[in-house]
Amino acid sequence: MKTLISIAVLMGTAVLSLPAAAQFAKAEDAIEYRQGAFRVMAHHFSRLGAMANGKAPYNAAVAAADGDVLAVVSKLPQAGFVAGSDKGKTRALPDIWKEEAKFKDLYEKMVAETAKVATAAKSGSLDQLKASFGPAAQSCKACHDEYRAK
């Protein structure tokens, strides 16, 4: 698991250091990239949510590892929201590109809230995880409600 976390951190650092337009040869590549990042994020967020909501036994080590991945991966999808990637196999609504400032604000709130979940997950305290999970889930929902097709 530590190797996976190290790889995720290295990939995240590399991706965040490149201009978004330079990363993708085609809009479809950007769509696949952001969808992949969201899938990884959803996997780790869901595992933390299951623990926070009592649907899975609390495991401090697993929570900490999931939190580490979540902290890095939550920053990745934004790079995939490049011009032209509103068309194709995506549920991203065109309003993302029409309301860039609002979308960016919601996205940054999500990153901040998931960072709080990651910190809580590493604390070893189920109560801290529970307290941080709801606001993070709401930040995800806020963006989905505005900018994701049903």
Digit-coded pLDDT (tens) for 103-128: 999 999 999 999 999 999 999 999 99
Average confidence (pLDDT) over 122-148: 97
We report the CATH number of the domain holding residue 109 as: 1.20.120.10
Asked if the model's pLDDT at residue 132 lies above 50, the reply is yes
Q: With pLDDT > 90 as the criterion, what percentage of the chain qualifies?
A: 84
Asked if the model's pLDDT at residue 70 lies above 90, the reply is yes
b (16+ CB within 10 A) / e for 81-103: bbeebbeeebebeeebbeeeeeb
CA 42 to chain centre: 7
Which is higher by pLDDT, 148 or 12?
148
95 CB-near residues (< 8 Å, 6+ apart): 103, 146, 147
* Structural domain boundaries enclosing 140: 2-147
Domains contained in the chain, number: 1
pTM value > 0.85: no
Which is higher by pLDDT, 18 or 118?
118
